[in-house]
């Protein structure tokens, strides 16, 4: 019965708090989210946090030894931030401890 009801739900049927979510992931998925996590407080990290590991891995892979400026432009980061990402890699390859700050 619930499956039948869930498939009939439209954006207009949902409370205001769900309309934005449903417009992004669809009404059916919004209802599934409510069923699974309803009543919980949910923190959704910023996009940058979600993709950070992939971005850093790509920077390390694309680094040629001479293209820090190009990588900074490509990934919208400062040159010093690119160097920090690369330094973590170089240090770990040497068996050194990673920087804390």
Q: What is the pLDDT of residue 47?
A: 92
Whether the model clears a pTM of 0.75, i.e. scores above it, the answer is no
The answer to whether residues 75 and 82 touch, using CB atoms and an 8 Å cutoff, is yes
> Which residues lie below 8 Å from residue 19, measured CB to CB, with a gap of 6+?
11
pLDDT along the chain (101 residues), means of 10: 67 85 89 91 91 96 96 97 86 56 58
With vertex at residue 78, the alpha carbon angle to CA 73 and CA 68, rounded to the nearest 5 degrees, is: 60
């Amino acid at each position: 019965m619930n499956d039948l009801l869930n498939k009939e739900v439209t954006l207009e049927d949902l409370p205001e708090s769900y309309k934005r979510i449903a417009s992004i992931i669809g009404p059916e998925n919004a209802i599934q989210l409510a069923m699974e996590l309803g009543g919980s407080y949910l923190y959704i990290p910023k996009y940058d946090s979600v993709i950070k590991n992939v971005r850093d891995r790509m920077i390390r892979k694309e680094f040629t030894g001479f293209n820090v400026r190009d990588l900074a432009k490509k990934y919208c980061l400062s040159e010093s931030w690119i160097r920090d990402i690369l330094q973590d890699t170089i240090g770990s390859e040497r068996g050194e401890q990673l920087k804390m700050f």
